[in-house]
A and B are shown apart, each in its own frame.
Chain A
C-alpha cells in the first residue's frame, strides 16, 4: 500500500541557510500535518493543511512557511536556519472524515551545523 513519502531523508545545512522539505501524502488523503521532533522529545505540531488551505497552526516559527499544492503534496520551507532547528520533521496525512489513524512518513532528519 502507498505510504506517506517524505524527501529528503537526511539534510545537512549550515546556520542561516534555507531548507525545503517535501511531503507526498497517501493518495486521496486531503489533509497534511507537519510535526517537529527534537531529540528525546515528543512530536510538536507545526502546521496543517486541508484541501490546500491552512487549517491549523501550532508552534511554527515565523522563519518557517508551508503550503499544500494542487496535487496535495506539501512543502515546508525553513529559512535562517538555527542550530536548534536540528530535528526530525514528520509529515502525516489523513482523510479528514475517516476514522482511521493518521499515517506518518519516514521523516526528514535535518542537521544544522
Chain B
C-alpha cells in the first residue's frame, strides 16, 4: 500500500510570502496529483505529474516531482488570501485507487 505523507499539516502564512508544501510517498507511483479543497467542497484537480523532473505551474502555484526521492513539492509564490484552502497530494498507479496524503491546511493572512 502506498503511504503518502505531507508536511506541514497546518500552514499560516502572510500575504506576499513564499512557501513550499512537501509530499513524500513510500513506494513507486506512476503519477502524483495535487488537489485543492475548500471547506465542505469537492476536490479540485490542480496538477498531474507523470515523470521525474516534471514541473507544472499555474498562477502562483508550482508543482514538481522527483521520483527518485519520492518527493513532490507544491510551491506557493507571493501568497494571496484566495489561496487559503486545504491542499492534498495523492499518488497511485494507472487504473487503480490512489492514496491521499493527510492534507495541508493553508491560511493566508493579510
| Chain A residues with a Cβ under 8 A of chain B | 31, 33, 42-45, 48, 50, 55-56, 58, 88, 90, 92, 96-97, 99-107, 109
Assuming the A-B contacts A42-B102, A106-B42, are A100 and B48 also in contact, with contact meaning beta carbons closer than 8 angstroms in the complex? yes
Q: Chain B's nearest CB lies how many Å from the CB of A46?
A: 9
Shortest Cβ distance from residue B2 to the other chain A in the assembled complex, whole angstroms: 11
Q: Which of B11-19, B65-73, B76-84, B91-99 forms part of the interface with chain A?
A: B91-99
B43 touches A43 (CB 8 A): yes
Q: Count CB-based A-B contacts (< 8 Å).
A: 53
Residues of B that sit less than 8 Å from A by CB: 31, 33, 35, 40-45, 47-48, 50, 88, 94-103
Assess whether A99 is in contact with B31, with CB atoms less than 8 Å apart. Answer: yes
Complex Cα distance A55/B93, Å?
Answer: 13
Residues of A within 8 A of B94 (CB): 96-97
Which residue of chain B lies nearest to A46 when distances are taken between CB atoms in the complex? B97
Complex Cα spacing A99 to B32, Å: 11
Query: Which 9 pairs across A and B sit closest by C-beta, in order of nearness?
Result: A101-B45, A42-B100, A101-B48, A104-B43, A45-B97, A96-B95, A56-B97, A106-B42, A104-B42
Residues of the A chain whose Cβ atoms lie less than 8 Å from the Cβ of B47: 101
